Amino acid sequence: MLVHGVAWDSSSPALRLHTPDGEFTDVALAQGSSLGLRVMPGLWCLGHVKVHGPGDRTHVPCPGSSPAERGKQCGACFARDDSRLMHDFHRGGSVPPGLRSYLMQPHWLYVATFANGASKVGTASAQRKWNRLAEQGAVHASYVSRAEDGRVVRLLEDLVTRDLGLVQQVRSAAKVASLVEPRAGVELQGINRKHAADVRELLSGLAMTGFTVVEEEWERPELAHQLCSARPSGAIRHPYPAAFDGGGHGLRVHSLSGAIALAGLPDAGGNEVEGTFVADLGALKGRRIEFGPHTTEIPALQDSLF
């Protein structure tokens, strides 16, 4: 089965898989759920998407089941993917009618803050207002504007980056590393509120129309609380000790933020080893896996985990 990533379509996230018979299936990632899997060598194309309108899109599997060349796609699927065109729409780029219909729905501008204090500005369609931030693994986030459409919201996003220096992307590796030792929640909330206030002040002074400034905080999913909170005194938290590019893996999910899990590692007898581990399940995206009674090989010397 080909992994398409971790999906937050509701408050119950899942590992989304594409089966050999062409269907999607979800494996729940609730608290206490176990994953035993083996990763096959290689990184494979996830196909491409055709957008027909708000809430209406078609996934087209890669016709050649080809290796990935550009991100998680082969060159041909990348060229056919509608979603790649949306980033230039506000600069006058041409888009298909279905994608235009999607982009012309209301959008939200937000400021997200992660466990190390890094913050970014981003956008979400009206239909995916909450889910977008859940999938990104924000620790705290604030909505700062509601725009009439996707063109206006991306103009605002670029203005915020230009005038306030807020980036539009935080790398997954940085998010994972920061969750091993997250900063205090009250500190992160303060950072987020300060950035959000600065953005609102900037937007309030703009002459352009097509948006309203809003004050609303995002509600983080309950499943993320343990991972996003500073670890209790005496608790041991390690980076996951293996790469998801091959071999066997066994995890028991305790908490999940975006695609990053706080997990216990069961041994062959099903008993968890000491400590918890921060694992980026997003690294499985584009990998072929099979489920089974697999475990994660842990370094013999505990010191190698630090």
Query: What are the pLDDT digits (tens) for 12-39?
Result: 899 999 998 888 999 999 999 999 999 9
pLDDT in tens, 255-294: 999 999 999 999 888 888 888 999 999 999 999 999 999 9
Please say if the pLDDT value at position 302 is more than 70: no
Average pLDDT over every residue of 169-177: 95
Asked whether residue 164 is assigned to any structural domain, the reply reads yes
What is the rounded radius of gyration, in angstroms, for the C-alpha atoms of the chain? Answer: 20
Asked whether residue 54 is assigned to any structural domain, the reply reads no
- Of 53-62, 180-189, 246-255, 278-287, the one with minimum mean pLDDT is 53-62
**According to the model, what pLDDT value does residue 115 have?**
96
CA-based torsion, 167, 171, 177, 179: positive or negative: positive
Asked whether residue 137 is assigned to any structural domain, the reply reads yes
CA 189/CA 196 separation, integer angstroms: 10
> Comparing C-alpha atoms, which of 170, 176, 171 is closest to residue 281?
176
**According to the model, what pLDDT value does residue 143 have?**
98
Please say if the pLDDT value at position 192 is more than 50: yes
What rounded mean pLDDT belongs to the chain? 91
Number of folded domains in the chain?
Answer: 1
Full domain range(s) for residue 111: 105-220
Please say if the pLDDT value at position 98 is more than 90: no
Average pLDDT over every residue of 226-254: 90
Asked whether residue 191 is assigned to any structural domain, the reply reads yes
Asked whether residue 84 is assigned to any structural domain, the reply reads no
Average pLDDT over every residue of 140-157: 96
Exposed, middle or buried by CB within 10 Å (0-12, 13-18, 19+), for 8?
buried
